[in-house]
Amino acid sequence: MKLFGWGEPGHNQSVHQPSNTLPAELQDDSRRFKLIVDNIEEGVLLIDDHENVQLFNPGATLITGWEQDEAIGISVHNIIQLVSEKGETVDNSQNPIVNVFKTGQSQKADKDFIRSRNNKIIPVTIHVSPLLDADRNVRAAVAVITNVTQQRAEEQQRADFISTASHEMRTPVAAIEGYLALALNDKVSGIDNRARDFLEKAHASTQHLGKLFQDLLTSAKAEDGRLTSHPQVIEMGEFLQNLSEDLRMVAEKKGLKLDFTSGNTNRTIVANEEVQAKEKVIRPLYFVYADPERIREVITNLFDNAVKYTPEGRISLGVNGNKEVVQCYIRDTGPGIPADDLPHLFQKFYRVDNSATRTIGGTGLGLFICRKIVELYDGRIWVESKLGEGSSFYINLPRLSTQRASELSNSSVVSPEAKPSGT
C-alpha cells in the first residue's frame, strides 16, 4: 500500500522520498519536512489504517530501540507497547493509537509508559492525530512520542523537596504555635491588651503557616501518587447527612443556615431541631467506592470555603444521581466568582484576587487538593458561579449498584459514619 506518496512499507528510510513526478516546489517542501522530522528529539510515526508503521524517524528509534528498517511495515503495537509503571500491559481501551482509529478524534496521553525493545520502562507522552479522507474516514494517524524521563525525574525531585521541607517545618511551627497559645492563656501569663493583640496576630499567622505546610505536603503526595487511600463502600446519603450535623455549628457561628438534601428529602439544619421541608420519602441509596476520610476532606474544604466567602444567607449540601453517577454539591449565597477565574480555580496556588476575597486567608492549594482526591476515584469536580448570586461546587463519582456494593463489602453493605480524620 502506497501512502501519501512516501513509498512502500519495508523501505529502509526514515521519511520516504517524494516521487520525482511531483512539482519541484512540493519536492522542496517534502525535503524540508524530512529534514525537520529527522532532526527532532520526539519520535514521529505514521500509521496506516491497518495500524502498520509507514514512517519512523530517528527520534522514535532513540525512544523505542527499534531501527527504522525493522519498524516500517509491521504493526505499531509490536513497537509501541503501553505498560504501567510496573511493566503490566495496559488495556487497549486506554491506548491512544487504538482510540484514534475508533473515534476519528485526536488523542493525548500524558502519563503513559512504554516498554522499549531492550525491556526498559520509559515514561512518555503520546499525541496521536487522525488523517481523514474526504468522507471523514480515518486513513492514517500521526503519533508523536516524547521521552519524559528527565522531566519526571525533575518533577519527583521537586516533589521530594517540598515533601521533606514541609514535613520538617511542621514540627517547629507546631512548637511556636503551642508557645503562643500558652502565652495567650490568662491562667499562665499576665499580659496587657497591646501585647495580647500582637500575640494573637502572631498565633493566627503561625496557624496559617502550619496549614500551608500541611497543604504543601498533601499536594506533593497527590502529584506523585503517594496520597494514601483506603477505599471502601460509602452510602453518600447517610455519610453526608452525618457530616452535615458536624458542619452545622460552623455555619451557625457565622449566622448561616445549612440545608441538606438527599434525593427528594430536604432538611434545613438549625440549632436543636430538624425542619422537614418536604414529606419524608424513601430515598435512594447512593453507593460509591472511595476513602471516606478523603471524601470528608474534600467536602469539608468546599464547605469551609463556602462559609468564608458567604457573608449571609445559606449553604446547601446535597446528593443525588443517576444509574452511572453520584453527584454531591455545595452551594452558597456568596458574592460569586468572576467568569475569567473559573477555568483556573483548581490550579495549584491559584486564588481569586479581588476586594471581596483579598482579606480572606488561604493557601491556594485547597481546591487543587480537592481535584486530585476526586480524580483518585475516577471522579470529576467543577464549579458554576454567577457574580452576585453565589457559587455551586459539584462532585461526580462513579455509582455502585447495590449488588456491586454488597460484593465489595463482603455481602454486608454498611453505611459508614462521617467521622473526623484527625489529620
Burial class (CB in 10 A: 0-12, 13-18, 19+), 218: buried
Compute, in degrees rounded to 10, the torsion defined by CA atoms 184, 185, 188, 192: 50
Pairwise CA distance, residues 6 & 1, whole Å: 10
Residues with Cβ within 8 Å of 412's Cβ and at least 6 positions away in sequence, in order, are 406
Backbone φ, ψ for residue 393 (5° rounding): -100, 135
| The CATH classification of domain 24-147, taken from the options 1.10.8.100, 3.30.450.20, 3.40.50.12370, 3.40.50.720 | 3.30.450.20
Pairwise CA distance, residues 18 & 6, whole Å: 6
Please report the pLDDT score of residue 110 as a whole number.
82
Partners of 381 in the β-ladder: 395
Under 8 Å between Cβ of 147 and 121: no
Instruction: Return the H-helix or E-strand segment holding 327.
Output: strand 325-332
Global pTM exceeds 0.85: no
Instruction: Return the H-helix or E-strand segment holding 173.
Output: helix 149-183
Under 8 Å between Cβ of 235 and 399: no
Q: What is the mean pLDDT of each run of 10 residues along the chain (423 residues)?
A: 41 42 55 84 92 94 94 93 87 88 90 90 94 90 93 79 74 83 77 83 82 75 77 94 90 91 62 44 83 94 92 93 94 92 87 57 80 93 93 96 87 44 40
Please report the pLDDT score of residue 266 as a whole number.
56
Count, residues in the chain: 423
Residues with Cβ within 8 Å of 253's Cβ and at least 6 positions away in sequence, in order, are none
Amino acid at 170: R
What is 232-408's CATH superfamily?
Histidine kinase-like ATPase, C-terminal domain (3.30.565.10)
Question: 3-state DSSP call for residue 153?
Answer: helix
Please report the pLDDT score of residue 282 as a whole number.
62
CA 375 from centroid of its chain's CA atoms: 4
Please report the pLDDT score of residue 218 as a whole number.
78
Q: What ranges do the domains of the chain cover?
A: 24-147, 152-223, 232-408
Under 8 Å between Cβ of 121 and 85: yes
Please report the pLDDT score of residue 2 as a whole number.
42
Partners of 331 in the β-ladder: 316, 392
CA 58 from centroid of its chain's CA atoms: 34
C-alpha cell at 177: 504555635
Residues with Cβ within 8 Å of 252's Cβ and at least 6 positions away in sequence, in order, are 258, 270, 271
Pairwise CA distance, residues 372 & 103, whole Å: 28
C-alpha cell at 378: 475516577
